[in-house]
Chain A
Amino acid sequence: MTIITPDTKPAAVPGSSRVLLAYLKRDKLALAAAIFLAIVVLAAILGPWLVGDVASRLGLRQRNLAPFSLESGWIYVLGADTLGRPILARLIVGAQNTLGIAAAAVFASMLVGGTLGLIAGYSERWYSHLILRLADIVMSFPSLLLALIVLYTLGPSITNLVIVLAVTRMPIYLRTARAEVLELRERMFVSAARAMGATPARIIIRHIAPLVLPTLVTISAIDFATVILSESALSFLGLGIQPPDFTWGAMVANGRGYLATAWWIAFWPGLAIMLTTLSLNILSNWARTVADPQQRWRLQKLRKAAR
């Protein structure tokens, strides 16, 4: 019996973290986005601990303080709101609620939507049809209207906000997961597992779910940005988060009335939202390029042979 020697050169696996880092370094925009997001995440985690007190300290002298002056200290560099609270500190503290609500909503909708999608894709029983119809209804329902009704009925709390956001985003995960399952379940390795006698549960959990997950995670990155925008819009309309809690969206709403006199109160939090969602979109764009074998070379250092 001949022993077949394996391929000698280990191909660079695109998934390994060192390679990914090299790709990231080569796309300056994506690198900047990643650094910005890292700062925002740090602010969300450490912010309340670092500048929590400063953010809620009222300062009569600093009321409507204009930005770019360092006289009252660096924390007032972006100006202060009508109560004299430093906007920079409030942005840092607000990051926690803004990102936290979005993360919870995205995770919940990915988990529930993904699971329902796996079931609806693999099984052809009556409940699969029911799941799809429900997704249709949620899809055709004006998502902001749903949010309005639910938050108006149940009262605006962080939990309800997360539930509403999760429900409105769920159909996307559900449909994507289902579409992937429809394709995957016809694959040979699924047939092989069935012929081996594997139960449907085992096939879904062991063979299908691990292959659907990366797609769902990719979507969740873009969706994260969308959810931040939706939450901001709800908070802007006064239906989202309620004082004393606040998010960046609520900060914009607070500043809306002072646009003509103190534009910075509404401007900075809006810019923070925009830069965060933009960074997320840039990064997910970059990730798509990395994942696409036909486009990946654009991020590679192409070394030509000597001639």
Chain B
Amino acid sequence: MIAYLGRRASHSILSVIGLLTLVFFLTRLTGDPSALYLPLDSTAEARADFARLNGLDQPIYWQFLEYLRDLLQLDFGQSLRQNRSAIEVALEAFPETLKLAVVAITLSTASAILVGSLAAARPGSVFDRIASLVSLAGASAPDFWVAIVGILVFAVGLELLPTSGTGGWAHWIMPTFVLMLRPFGLLVQVVRGTMLSALASPYIKTARAKGLSRQKIIFGHALRNSLLPVVTVAGDLATSLINGAVVVESIFGWPGIGKLMIDSIIQRDFAVVQSTILVTATAIFILNIAIDLLYAVLDPRIRY
């Protein structure tokens, strides 16, 4: 178990270092920040001062080595835009994304398990057909389009909900709904599919031969065995939500990590980009470990 955690951690650290390296060089390719932060008519001297101040006058490999050295001292750099510690900026935005992600993934997983297993219990029924169509539509809908149509109808037209921003519970409704669409759609499909194959499996025959009730067979035996693939897919979806729901955050003006990332790239605020990557990658690492542990809980055949 401890050996397993160690192995996972070392793999993840390697991945994060690879990721940070990639981002470091890629972001530097987008251009020189001084063009954005100084007035257009500033002198070459002022530009050089700005570059020296921010360490931008060094060759890029040297900048990278300095970045690594600072990283080891837990110094993540300064935000050019906000003039404060970059990691602080990232850690401030992250909980906003996390809140939204947790709510969306929990609600969609719970409702998908319910709808999917009811659909699989009576394949071909009216409920199954409707559930299939709705879930496929959910998985197929372009989120940005649903978001702006939602704003058009509920905020502009009916004036029931706020168009964007944070605040009371009403601000949560549209972002959560739009974020839930795709996970819900995909998960219903996964639950239904694995339930159908579980219901056709030999141990269900045994349960029927034992004289168990339908509910026990469907929820006690089939659903319990179908949870593993559901956890896998839900985990992948959670990963993408933690990485920042860029579209939803930018349309609804939600101050999360995805919006921060986009803004920082456009502003060439490199230290903040690096910090956001570091924060999300760490969160994803923890999430993956949690999923692996959940596997072991769900399936006694899995031991680390």
Direct contact of A and B (CB under 8 A): yes
**Of the residues B15, B141, B149, B196, contact of A137 by C-beta under 8 Å:** B15
Nearest residue in B to A253 (C-beta to C-beta)? B144
Whether B142 lies near A252 (C-beta < 8 A) is yes
**Interface-facing stretch out of B19-27, B33-41, B69-77:** B19-27
**Of the residues B124, B189, B197, contact of A285 by C-beta under 8 Å:** B189
- Chain B facing A: main interface SS: helix
List A250-302 residues whose CB lies under 8 Å from chain B.
Answer: 252, 256, 259-260, 263, 266-267, 270-271, 273-274, 277-278, 280-282, 285, 288, 292, 294-295, 298
Nearest residue in A to B196 (C-beta to C-beta)? A295
List B11-49 residues whose CB lies under 8 Å from chain A.
Answer: 11, 14-15, 18-19, 22-23, 26-27, 29-30
Contacts of A252 in B (CB 8 A): 142, 144-145, 148
Contacts of B111 in A (CB 8 A): none
Any chain A CB within 8 A of the CB of B178? Answer: no
Query: Which range holds the interface residue count of chain B?
Result: 35 or more
- Chain A facing B: main interface SS: helix
Contacts of B226 in A (CB 8 A): none
Whether A237 lies near B246 (C-beta < 8 A) is yes
A24 CB to closest chain B CB, in angstroms? 16
Any chain B CB within 8 A of the CB of A141? Answer: yes
Seen from chain B, the residues whose Cβ lies within 8 Å of a Cβ on chain A are 11, 14-15, 18-19, 22-23, 26-27, 29-30, 123-124, 132-133, 136-137, 139-146, 148-149, 151-152, 156, 189, 193, 196-197, 200, 239-240, 243-244, 246-247, 250, 258, 261-262, 265-266, 277, 280-281, 284
Ordered by A's residue number, 12 sampled pairs between the chains whose C-beta atoms are within 8 Å are A133-B18, A145-B246, A149-B27, A150-B26, A237-B247, A259-B156, A273-B145, A274-B140, A278-B140, A281-B136, A292-B197, A294-B196
Given pairs A137-B18, A225-B140, 17 additional interface contacts (CB within 8 A): A133-B11, A140-B15, A140-B239, A144-B246, A145-B243, A145-B261, A148-B261, A152-B266, A232-B142, A232-B144, A233-B142, A259-B152, A266-B145, A266-B148, A270-B145, A281-B136, A281-B140
